[in-house]
Structure 1
């Protein structure tokens, strides 16, 4: 792969390039130019520089592409988002408190799923997203009483992604300088 192509990769493509399973490559490599690309151990150092576990786990999901519901990182991100919105929902909501943890988890799962599969976000209506996530409520009820939790979840994910990109890009520049 040429140096130009490697420089044009986004932060998560660059990070995940050496972390995935090895495949045979029959292209001219960087070693032919005398440059030594960073190996996966050097790239993994960026995780130590990130501010919190949400950034680390989300960066791993985006770099590695392992978006299965059962992966450890997916579960950690989902748990963080669920507990974050549950704290606020527990103070706001006065009725049906017994179903509150379940609803918070479903909202967080829905937002995380559509965040990771952003190409699907515009293809589904809110009613379809609620049905797919297993949230059994009317669309109007969700919009009036619960949507702000979904918006907060999306905002947390966007901010964690932006911060992770900043850390990865800075680390990538620092590796090039060395």
Structure 2
């Protein structure tokens, strides 16, 4: 995650997480009141679609558990997006098509959220972790299915960038310096 993106999502998430006591010495206040939780939450109303909102919430909250509502909605959106295309393109393995598309969506979402693991896993390891190696080999994935994974990555990156832009612009509207 780059520095600009991290600070915008961290700014949004500061009031969303549980508060802890802070015993650090601080400098004198400027008299300006920081935005409250409900003022920050207004940025979600400015976002274009549910994917952006869910991505922003997950990145701001920092809870990437696959049991969260947002995680499930993102995974379902990604699955439906690639399944719609794959259903018209694929002629073989029609009975396993929903399972494969869901596994691809889940795999790409995992590595998007845990981007620091990207360098640790080669394609074979990623496919094994997702359970796709039990259905196909690496070469089959590369030749016939990789473009679906790339499409999922692109959707996630675009949603993250759009959400980041909305947070940045919203902070400007609230007159908050970055």
Do the two structures share a fold, i.e. TM-score over 0.5? yes
1:17-36 equivalences in 2 (<5 Å): 17-28=14-25, 32-36=29-33
- Show structure 1 runs of 5+ residues with no match: 1-6
Residues 5-24 of structure 1, C-alpha deviations (whole Å, 9 max, x = no match): xx996110000011000111
Kindly tell me: are residues 174 and 63 of structure 1, through their superposed partners in 2, closer, same or farther at Cα, counting changes over 3 Å? Answer: same
Question: What is aligned with 2:89?
Answer: 92
The answer on 1:167 being equivalent to 2:174 is no
Q: Which of the pair has the greater relative contact order for Cα pairs under 8 Å at 6+ separation? A: 2
- Figure out how many residues of one structure are paired with residues of the other and give that number: 171
CA–CA distance in 1 between the matches of 2:97 and 2:12? 37
Contact persistence 2:5–2:164 (CA under 8 A) = no
The answer on 1:154 being equivalent to 2:153 is yes
* TM-score of the pair, normalised by structure 2: 0.92
Tell me whether 107-116 or 30-39 shows the greater mean CA deviation.
30-39
Kindly tell me: are residues 31 and 77 of structure 1, through their superposed partners in 2, closer, same or farther at Cα, counting changes over 3 Å? Answer: farther
- Show structure 2 runs of 5+ residues with no match: none
RMSD: 1.7
Residue in structure 2 matching 1:75, options 47, 72, 75: 72
Offset at residue 25 of structure 1 (A): 1.2
Kindly tell me: are residues 13 and 94 of structure 1, through their superposed partners in 2, closer, same or farther at Cα, counting changes over 3 Å? Answer: same
